[in-house]
Amino acid sequence: MVEYKNDRLDAVFHALSDPTRRAMLQDLSAGERLVGELAAPFSISLAAASKHIKVLEGAGLVRREVRGRAHVCRLDAEPMHAGMEWMRHYEAFWRQRIDVLEALLLADDAAKGVDAQATTETEEKR
């Protein structure tokens, strides 16, 4: 199995588990945003937005820079790579299982086709 540092991977999946944080990341994918800009689409306070941003920062997905009184956030998507690699491992697992299932179903269909053809030929001879 693919090995990853569990704490970092856990932090990434935890950060991505919340729809507000996912929306914030999507917004940040278009460029830097102020904390207030990230909070604006939601019915949440700046303090609540800041808590979400801290979770994203803890996962390494967001970098916050203080410019005077403004807190500017930017996306750092690199930590998502570990999550994608983890999922790719299981994608290969499920792909293999689906290939086996497909082969079984095709074999079953082929056997039914042979049986159906044999039954039709037998009925025609009667």
Domain count, the chain: 1
HSE-CB of 26 using CA atoms within 13 angstroms: 8
Q: State the pLDDT confidence band at 1, using cuts at 50, 70 and 90.
A: very low
Indicate the SS3 state at residue 61: coil
Residue 63 parent element (H or E): strand 62-67
Contact 82, 9 (CB under 8 A): yes
- Kindly state whether residue 105 falls inside one of the protein's structural domains: no
Per-residue pLDDT tens over the stretch 27-73:
999 999 999 999 999 999 999 999 999 999 999 999 999 999 999 99
pTM of the model: 0.69
Top-confidence residue, 62 or 4: 62
- Kindly state whether residue 88 falls inside one of the protein's structural domains: no
- Kindly state whether residue 50 falls inside one of the protein's structural domains: yes
pLDDT at residue number 28: 97
Per-residue pLDDT tens over the stretch 71-118:
999 999 999 988 888 888 888 888 888 888 888 888 888 888 765 555
- Kindly state whether residue 65 falls inside one of the protein's structural domains: yes
Checking if the pLDDT of 5 tops 60, the result is: no
pLDDT at residue number 91: 83
Domain coverage including residue 68: 6-75
Domain of residue 64, CATH code: 1.10.10.10
